[in-house]
Amino acid sequence: MVELCRIFLDSSRPSAYIFESQNIISRTSLFRTFFSILSRSDICDELRVSTALVTSEIVFGNNKNQSLLSEFYEDFYRVDFADKVLSVAHDHTQSHAVRKSMLYLFGCYIRGNLSGLQKIVHGVLNQETSVVSKFLCAGLFDDDFMSTTITSFCFIHIMINNPQYKTEFARMAFIVDKSDSQTAFNLISRCVSIIQPQTNPISSINMLCLLIYLIYDCEEALNTFLESSDISSFMIMGIKSGYGSNLDTVIKGLFAVLVGTVLNALQERADSQITKNLMAHVSLVDLKSLITKLNESSEFVASSKSRIINLSLKVYIDYEITLIVKKIEIFVIDSLRYHSQDRSKLADLQDQLQAMTNEFKSVSEECKHLKNHLEAANKRVHDLEIKNDQLMRANNGLTRDFNVLLHDHQVLVSQYTYLEEEVRRLNYELYSVMGGQYHNMDSSLPETEGQIANQDLNKDNMTNVEYLDRS
């Protein structure tokens, strides 16, 4: 019956079909039978694991069934279901498969369970001494791989579809009693301190997954992470160092995803010193290579096939993390393509710049020739201006001389006119005198030598008058 129910609840089926199957099964006696099997420790591991997985699918995202499960445990066992399931997950006497299946059941129980989530988060934030708070945070103080697996898984599944919890967890400060003093640290700094070469590789993987999910798409968590001391060195060390295990590919790949997550968040901050430090030591090609190797690892391939936990793997990469890895891989590929286009554009710009430089040199040479011609022309203009000035002064002198001559000419003309009038007057008088004598003489008398002489004299006078007139 367990396997039959799992067939109806297979995640590959449509959501509406799965939801209806959940409600049908929850109305049967099978649902309570599954609860009873989960509570018994004398049942074989195989049946307990199968029952935990089918119960997980019945309550996944179904608030009604989640409430039924919680009420059943409170009514019959007087215990909170979250406390019960996490206590089994932390029980070292249980098999690995049972512990993992119980952990997966916890994740399905809190998916969309707002009332259950609020109770759990309140206990964690206020550091209450409840069982669920103790087990949920145990991985922060114990690097046992199962403890860190539970802590990483629980925190991630609490934050799924609840981004406000990312901010609250980023602000949270843990208080640890050490003899007479108390030491405070936040969730992010604790993750960083656990992720070290000497730490259990599986625990490092678990904390890397939690750190990536916490800072992804949460600015406050990112800022808290970047404010940690030597954070650039921490990320570069994670990519460059070897961890001496067969999980090096997974660890370095997750570090590459962490660096990609930071670069993706800081791409709007062009002046980010952290971005400059990272890009100075790690290229986008290196990130792409490491993420590709991570995608090809058996651990990643098995985890990315389904959201259902893979019980056969000791190393578990949460399905939600595989989705982030794919997104960061796309970001790195796009960045590589963008930078490739930039290099192509840069080469074109360099060619254009070289052509413009050559053209500038040619224009500069031409400008030098034109400058020389201009200087020569300016010199000629200057010389012509000097000559023009000299000619102007000479012209002014000639104009003054001409004006003097013109004045003298006008005076002479005036005198000449006066003398001409006088000559005419005298000639007229002479003509009148001589003409009057000719008139009083007897014309019949023969001309005497004196008369002939007077006629000649008159002709001469007339000739003189005509000459003066012409003058």
Output 308 or 466, whichever has higher pLDDT: 308
Mean pLDDT score, 24-42: 87
| In a domain? residue 355 | no
| In a domain? residue 366 | no
Domain identity same for 284 and 207? yes
Question: Is residue 2 predicted with pLDDT exceeding 70?
Answer: yes
* pLDDT tens, residue by residue, 410-422: 999 999 999 989 9
Domain identity same for 310 and 338? yes
* pLDDT tens, residue by residue, 171-183: 888 766 554 455 6
* pLDDT tens, residue by residue, 121-158: 988 888 777 788 888 888 888 878 889 999 999 999 99
Residue 182: the pLDDT is 58
pTM recorded for the entire structure: 0.70
How buried is residue 178: exposed, middle or buried, by Cβ count under 10 Å (0-12/13-18/19+)? Answer: exposed
Say which residue the tokens 């860190």 belong to: 148
Residue 465: the pLDDT is 45
Nearest to 253 by CA among 295, 215, 284: 295
Question: Is residue 38 predicted with pLDDT exceeding 80?
Answer: yes
Averaged confidence pLDDT in the chain? 84
Where a domain ends, among 60, 91, 120? 120
Domain identity same for 76 and 182? no
Domain identity same for 230 and 294? yes
Q: How far is CA 226 from CA 222, 262, 329, in A?
A: 6, 9, 21
Domain identity same for 115 and 150? no
Question: Is residue 459 predicted with pLDDT exceeding 80?
Answer: no
Where a domain ends, among 281, 312, 342? 342
* pLDDT tens, residue by residue, 230-241: 899 999 999 988
Contacting residues for 133 by C-beta, under 8 A, at least 6 apart? 120, 123, 124, 127
| In a domain? residue 456 | no
| In a domain? residue 159 | yes
Residue 156: the pLDDT is 94
The boundaries of the domain holding residue 180 are 140-342
State the DSSP string of 147-161. Answer: HHHHHHHHHHHHHTT
Question: Is residue 332 predicted with pLDDT exceeding 90?
Answer: yes
Domain identity same for 115 and 147? no
Q: How many independent structural domains does the chain possess?
A: 2
Secondary structure of residue 195 in the 3-state scheme: coil
Residue 346: the pLDDT is 60
Lowest-pLDDT range of 242-246, 264-268, 336-340, 460-464: 460-464
| In a domain? residue 463 | no
| In a domain? residue 376 | no
| In a domain? residue 186 | yes
| Dist CA 201 CA 250 (whole Å) | 9
Domain identity same for 249 and 316? yes
CATH of the domain at 228: 1.25.10.10
Domain identity same for 97 and 153? no
Residue 327: the pLDDT is 94
Tokens (6 digits) for 119 = 């109770």
Domain identity same for 330 and 266? yes
Domain identity same for 43 and 100? yes
Contacting residues for 333 by C-beta, under 8 A, at least 6 apart? 288
Tokens (6 digits) for 445 = 């008398």
- H-run or E-run covering 388: helix 319-440
Domain identity same for 239 and 99? no
Q: Helical H runs in 267-318?
A: 273-281, 284-296, 298-304
The percent of residues above 90 in pLDDT, for the chain, comes to 38
Question: Is residue 303 predicted with pLDDT exceeding 50?
Answer: yes
Residue 444: the pLDDT is 43
Where a domain ends, among 61, 92, 120? 120
| In a domain? residue 239 | yes
Domain identity same for 113 and 162? no
